[in-house]
Chain A
Amino acid sequence: MEATTLDAKIPSGPIERKWDTCRFEMKLVNPANRRKHSIIVVGSGLAGAAGAASLGQQGYHVDCFSYHDTPRRAHSIAAQGGINAAKNYRNDGDSIYRLFYDTVKGGDFRSREANVYRLAQLSVNIIDQCVAQGVPFAREYGGLLDTRSFGGVQVSRTFYARGQTGQQLLLGAYQALEEQIAAGSVQMHARSEMLDVVVVDGKARGIVTRDLVTGAIECHVADVVVLATGGYSNVFNLSTNAKASNCTAIWRAYRRGAYFANPCFTQIHPTCIPLTSEHQSKLTLMSESLRNDGRVWVPKRKDDRRPPNEIPEDERDYYLERRYPSFGNLVPRDIASRAAKEICDEGGGVGPSGQGVYLDFRDAIQRMGPEAVREKYGNLFEIYEKITGEDAYRVPMRIYPAPHYTMGGLWVDYHLMSNVPGLFVAGEANFSDHGANRLGASALMQGLADGYFIIPATVPSYLASNPLPALDASHPAFQSVRDDVDQRVARLLGINGTRSADSYLRQLGKIVWDDCGMTRSEASIRHALGEITKLHEEFWRDLRVLGTGEELNQSLEKAGRVADFFELAELLCMDALHRRESCGGHFRTESQTSEGEALRDDAHFSYCAAWEYKGGDGAAPALHKEPLVFEYVHLAQRSYK
């Protein structure tokens, strides 16, 4: 593997001025010329819908694609807790610089300083934008916005709409998008799945899609392609992601030359409802905001099987408060997750499987009264009761960590453009802002910053500085990619084996979770790679997809996505293998402090690892490095004690 160094095109000057400098230096497109440019946006979640709506408002012709029946169902809708903004409305010492600092530190120094600073700057405008759109954030009696705090920070900067913040923010962006659809500036292509990217003369010029109802394979030409297709946590099968969330769009782009950065950086969220049955299809997240008032504990005695309410105070181990006195239950997600796993691995876990810890509201209910708790967290308690049949007002919730968000994704420069000119990547689909660990309430922030403010500035600059020849779908490049897509669909349908795509994903997910999940070692990763290769071969030999390609065929959709998850899983493991350090939620057993905390190796791994596809059939991908320089937040061992 030969390493080359990537240029992220970070503007010069002090960090506070970089985005202003960049915006001034970028070229503009005259309003009368904008309608001559066409832009494809794939995905209509927070980043995609916000980006498509904002570009439509500017006067560009936008085509937006979603595999859902309507943009309002994108997985952003499931985010619960809130969105950060450095407004300092609480007068508790918050500032853009502090949000920037918390995010770089929280990401365990594996994110890009300039991007994170811009994210913190834009957070302020995001709240303004959403409020103007009518997003019903929580209010105080005086009519001002309410806030709460989240893991990894000591200020109250998280704005929320009860436990449904993601839904409300997405509805804001969706409504802005529908307004543009009505106005004719955005054309929405619902129930369309992007299956490939078309690169002409080195530039992204379009995509190939499958109409999920008719099966028609279609070519779409544009001047620019923006991928806002979310994350790939479903490579673990059991995750908090929606069932359809997948890696196909970014994986196809990777196979067409876009670099895939830090694929092993996947976030494990500490507060999910534990698994109860092997037939379970997904894991449900309980918002991190619960840790504001809920206290995490396990019985001190490992074999203590008494009901939790019968265990006296002095026989409970509030292990987060004990180990991390200054942050307590609000330590960042990676720390809380690993602490729970350690307790359970040592046999201290609770619940039928032993894979759980208590999240107890007893003290909060006594302090605030049940009504105040209901007001703040009511819907989360309802979700919990529906799934477990237990009333968390009476007995503590049980929680366990689960895969939730992926910090890896396609590599992008400061303009959110991949190394393929004209191919932009926004939101969770790119790698840029969260480093090795995402702090709470910052995913919504990144999706909207990218969608409302960054893409609508950088895409026009690309259009203004890159004259593009006119093209149509008869161009040989389009026909060739279209043929590839046709063949791939035919191949999946033609195997005619015995096993469903779902059954393969269940098995693949377990391998990746067990051997390359929260804790991993050289041996476990090598074991995973061997198992994945064997299973991958079997998949292409013994898959069964019934029906045809010319109809709504959900088995075919799943099979295509699982095929890409196999390849991604291999790259994820290779990336994890080469990163011989513990970082964020990625605990390499070979790299730990004497107290058992994650130990980074800045001398050797202070870079983003971007992988280049070198062809199939076992050709190893090439590693490119983007060195990460920390000028403002100085590299230090994270401490939340």
Chain B
Amino acid sequence: MNLHLRIWRQLKSTAPGEFRDYQVKNIAPDLSFLEMLDALNEDLSAQGEPPVAFEHDCREGICGSCGFLINGVAHGGQRGTTVCQLSMRFFKDGDRLILEPWRAAAFPVIRDLVVDRSAFDRIVQAGGFISAPTGSAPDANAILVPKEAADTSFDAAACIGCGACVAACPNAAAMLFTAAKLTHLNQLPQGQPQRDHRSLSMVAAMSREGFGSCTNHGECEAVCPKEIPLEFIGDMNRDLIRASWRRRREPLPVPSAESPSNRGS
């Protein structure tokens, strides 16, 4: 099939960007979307134009590296699919496709379709873990986890951190991502001791990074390649209220690199 592509080109965060038009020809339907871009890049390279930068790694829909908007839809619109797993079978000969990077203040563009998602790591640093220093664990079966809790926890932990939820949200909120992290850990018996701190701290970090708030559009759920459900945001809000109520007499902890509360030595 032949396609008309309009792609956002930007050399670096501080440089101005622009859309440029490209044609790709003779694309086999078995190829993935990224393999189609590989073919475009081979052509560009041969013509002396720098290839389009895009992130990708596993190409199996699990590493979360890839992702950009195709005609305004994060990962291109096939339900539960990352762009690396999006097959060219999904498109028609002659389609016009607009490719642009995630757009969010908290995700600055690095080059072309590549953005900086390190804000997600800083949300995790704020409390997205269970403190279990190596070697201190009890026998695995000493901790009983109800199957329903383990399954829900797993469903939330399936988040790949790609950022599609932020890109799809009209407010550029990171609620679905943060909610997924919280539901993963807050469901489990091991996660209870740090539950309140985790909920308060991660939500605070989310605001600090410049993500917007949730106004229940549900666009995040619609584009999530792992189909993380919106109801986890409800769980997060309940956890937040619970934690605020239980801690109302204590000042909110604000983690920083200067307060090494978790240092092992």
Contact = CB atoms under 8 A, between A and B. Distances in A.
Contacts of B93: none
B147 A141 contact: yes
A184 B257 contact: yes
Most buried by B among A179, A188, A503: A179
A276 B29 CA distance: 10
Interface in B114-151: 114, 116-118, 120-121, 124-126, 128-141, 143-147, 150-151
Given A77-B62, A182-B257, A386 B133 contact: no
B264 A128 contact: no
A132 B188 contact: no
B154 A182 contact: no
Interface in A233-282: 242-244, 276-277, 279-282
Contacts of A164: 62, 158
Given A68-B57, A136-B154, A53 B134 contact: yes
A139 B58 CA distance: 28
A417 to B, nearest CB: 20
Contacts of B135: 54, 125, 129, 452-453
A544 B45 contact: yes
Interface string A37-63: 000000000000010011011110000
Contact of B190 (A131, A161, A167, A546): A131
B35 A281 contact: yes
A389 B32 CA distance: 12
Contact of A72 (B30, B49, B161): B161
Contact of B134 (A139, A171, A453, A547): A453
A580 interface: no
A179 B262 contact: yes
B140 A87 contact: yes
Given A133-B190, A552-B12, A456 B260 contact: no
A616 interface: no
A546 B53 CA distance: 12
B72 interface: no
Nearest to A70: B121
B141 to A, nearest CB: 5
Interface in A120-149: 125, 127-134, 136-145
B91 to A, nearest CB: 13
Interface residues of A, number: 90
Contacts of A383: 60-61, 85
Given A77-B62, A78-B60, A452-B134, A168 B154 contact: yes
Interface string B52-73: 0101111111111100000000
A89 interface: yes
Contacts of A34: 265
Contact of B111 (A162, A387, A551): A551
B81 interface: yes
B58 A78 contact: yes
A58 B134 CA distance: 9
B142 to A, nearest CB: 8
Nearest to A34: B265
Q: Which bracket fits the contact residues of B?
A: 35 or more
A465 B221 CA distance: 55
A171 B153 CA distance: 13
Given A77-B63, A134-B184, A136-B154, A551 B129 contact: no
B246 interface: no
B156 to A, nearest CB: 8
B205 to A, nearest CB: 10
A132 B265 contact: no
Interface string A356-391: 000000000000000000000000001100110100
A183 B255 CA distance: 9
A382 B144 CA distance: 30
Given A75-B63, A131-B190, A175 B128 contact: yes
B85 A69 contact: no
A181 B63 contact: no
A246 to B, nearest CB: 11
A552 B87 CA distance: 27
A136 B154 CA distance: 5
B132 A143 contact: no
B53 to A, nearest CB: 6
A476 interface: no
- Shortest Cβ-Cβ A-B pairs, 7 listed: A59-B265, A143-B144, A57-B264, A132-B137, A175-B129, A132-B132, A182-B125
Given A179-B262, A546-B49, 11 more contacts: A54-B135, A73-B65, A78-B63, A130-B140, A175-B124, A175-B129, A179-B129, A182-B126, A242-B63, A277-B31, A551-B111
Interface of B: 11-12, 28, 30-32, 34-35, 38-39, 41-42, 45-46, 48-51, 53, 55-65, 80-81, 85, 87, 89, 110-111, 114, 116-118, 120-121, 124-126, 128-141, 143-147, 150-151, 153-154, 157-158, 160-161, 184-185, 188, 190-191, 255, 257-258, 260-265
26 contacts: A50-B134, A57-B134, A58-B265, A69-B116, A129-B135, A130-B140, A132-B136, A132-B137, A133-B190, A134-B190, A137-B150, A144-B144, A176-B129, A179-B129, A181-B125, A182-B255, A183-B262, A184-B258, A185-B260, A185-B264, A242-B59, A279-B38, A280-B35, A383-B61, A452-B134, A551-B111
